[in-house]
Amino acid sequence: MQLLGAPLSPFVKKARIVAAEKAIDYAYDPRPSPLGWPEGFERINPLKRVPALLPDPANPDYAINDSSAICAYFDRLKPEPALFPAAAEALGRALWIEEFCDSEMASKIGMGVFRPVFFNLASGKAADYGAAKAGFETVAKTLLTYLENQLDGKTWFAGDAFSIADIAVTCQLYSLSFVGFDIPATRFPNLAAHYQRCSARPSVAGLIADDQAFVAKAGWDLPKQDV
């Protein structure tokens, strides 16, 4: 089994965290990304998006694409530990939070905050923190406020256990943190505590350590921003 996709993609991270939580082994190819698609990748995914999963690497014509599809596949492949709640209401909530993160949050964070910093640095330009700060405030005004309120009095987003909802949120918040925008505990205490709780899990902490090593090797300066 082979998983393909750039390590900084929140969607690739979501699939890798689920795999780590379930102790699923796979070969990893980090090359496919919007910065460069390997020759023939459109045979795997004609939409040129990541992640992509090849259950049989020798058969690139049969791929499972999209992080939600891959995570559901992993969950059926190895049901324990359960990351999709069994109770109907909790499952519905988990899938909604996952969709909320994968659609509107990913779009606003990716284009408005992550891109002005990371893509500028990756192309040899100075990071545009002015644009990124404006993008963060757009995200904070509605999206982070919504998630903060959803956690009121709760440890996890869906039911009483860590689930795909918590993973999806963590991946988006990590994209903010990576480019210097940690969730301010003074403004979003529930969300900040949730992120700290999730990012301390080995499945997440290992990926963060890998990214820190990548940044150090690249020699980039990603200072924390005052938000």
Q: Along the chain (227 residues), what's the average pLDDT of each consecutive run of 10 residues?
A: 97 98 97 90 94 95 96 97 97 98 98 96 94 98 98 96 98 98 98 98 97 90 93
The second-level CATH assignment, the architecture, of 2-77 is 3-Layer(aba) Sandwich (3.40)
As annotated, the residues of the chain forming the CATH 3.40.30.10 domain(s) are 2-77
* C-alpha span between 171 and 102 (Å, rounded): 9
Q: Which of 11, 73, 17 is nearest to 47 (CA)?
A: 11
| CATH T-level assignment (fold) for domain 88-218 | Glutathione S-transferase Yfyf (Class Pi); Chain A, domain 2 (1.20.1050)
Q: How far apart are CA 143 and CA 3, in angstroms?
A: 30
As given in the structure block, the two tokens for residue 145 are 């406020």
pTM: 0.97
Residue among 29, 38, 40, 39 at smallest CA distance from 6: 29
Residues of the chain with CATH 1.20.1050.10: 88-218
Q: What is the pLDDT of residue 35?
A: 84
Give the model's pLDDT for residue 221.
87
Phi, psi of 162 (to 5 degrees): -55, 130
Residue 54, beta-bridge partner list:
2
Residue 14 in tokens: 């979501």
Q: Give the whole-angstrom CA distance, residue 218 versus residue 146.
A: 35
